[in-house]
Chains A and B, each alone.
Chain A
Amino acid sequence: MSLIPSALARVLVLGVAALALVACGDDDEAGSAATPSASPERVSVVATTMQLQDFARQVGGDRVEVTGILGPDNEPHEYEPTPSDAEALADADVVLENGANLDEWLDDLLANAGSKAKRVTAVDGIELLPTEEEGFPGDPHVWHDPDNAKRMVDNIATGLSAANSEGRTTFVRNATAYKAKLDGMAKQIRATFAPIPADRRNLITTHDAFGYFVRASDLNQVGTVLPSVSTDSEPSGRQVRELVEAIRAQDVKAIFTEEAVDASLEKQIADEAGAEVSTSLYADVLGEPGSEGETYIDAELANAKAMAAAWAGS
């Protein structure tokens, strides 16, 4: 008797879910049809992460039309591609991926879209920080080191030139100009941290995304709330205990969140250890247009400022 309603419920649930997905697909298609298509002479570039989208616009200038896959609300580690992503890929000349297993969902997407685009992997040639995480060749969050960002920009310039040789001079010129700005950003970050004594530069973040930032700016990563370079995990009692002990032992002032939505775990840990929950950092995404983290450079500077403010005020 109980089997029948159970089976019925399952079928209904799956049916409604499928309907919902189909409905969503239609909606997305309508959305992308409304946006103007790339003019024929421009190189059509699809980029996964927001950092890559910014880099591609900086390097490509007017010669490229950049379509982004991830937005300010999409965590790259757990992204579910949509039909409109496949559509954008089908028409793309160049596909920019981060690599190092951050955006590994792109493989399936490319296969499904039947894309013939040139694939550019931004982390190529960058030495990855080691991670014990299974499935990751190394820590994928390379962009948080300005030197790595410059290498990514070079990789993008090379990739764009290969797809559009007439644009080469422009791409190289733009890349050089942007790398100068990145040098300026690195200088500003150093200046921001300069007044902070080394024993106060104790960083705790939600997930392990700031390894390169920590190395570049001489910070001390005390720990992370989620025990992973990815965001889809839950800490155990022991991991929470060890983090609380580390916060107390090293007198850490602040725990930085990443998304403002549900920071209850961060709040409990901060309460128990006698620290504060601080402003959220731009870890894997950039901010909404108009926010203080709108571009890559803005976001990195905002991160440095937030950290320095929390550490200076103690």
Chain B
Amino acid sequence: MTQWTVLYRKEMMEMVRNYKFLWIPIIFILLGVMQPVSSYYMPEILDTFGGLPEGTILEMPTPTGAEVLMKVLSIYGMLGVLILVLSAMGVVSAERQSGVAGMVMIKPVPYSSYILSKWAGLLTITLISLFIGYVASWYYTSLLIETVAFERIFQSGVIYSIWLVFVVTLTLFFSTIMKGNGSVAFVTIFVVFAISTVTSILGKYMKWSPATMTEHTGQVLLSGELNSSFLLAFITTIAILIVILISSIQIFKQKELLE
């Protein structure tokens, strides 16, 4: 077994023992299911609590299935991202702080194996949570509102996962270069927010931005067609990911690991 595998298995075991493998998917399921359920019951909820004057006839346009799922993804884009960043912020920094990173690296472990096993661990929990949550959301949407072709769910899920992978990779990077868990989370969220905002304001000039993945996701969900600029964004995102990972490894190598 390579050292990478040993480290990756340790990441998995740790997430099982501290219940991250339980509560993160559960949060994604809850966030995903809430939207179709609340859309479905909205008229009744308004009826009960709305306090609308007697005789008002409410014409609620029922959203389409795809619209509901778009909402779900935009919630994942805020709360989901927040949860992922908060749960991943200490991935390297906490181990450096406690000194246990030094105990690992004192053995002949390649620096890349350490960082890449962390990355793989983050990817695993992210993809599993997104997949389970999104499928649960799709199931309830089909049940309560309207069936959306699974093919579109799959495609949009894959494209959306690229954005989340970008977010957790960024978290890993900041966790490697900084020490305080809080500042890691703050800076990561700030950078993610900045990229998203700049991308949506300067849309024309930002077609390569990883943040366009969320737009491509919507596109696929609504029309089933991929925008032609997807390839550009995909390639630059992969390139940025590779650069971030390589820099994380190089920076990690330079850090003093035993205090």
A and B physically associate: no
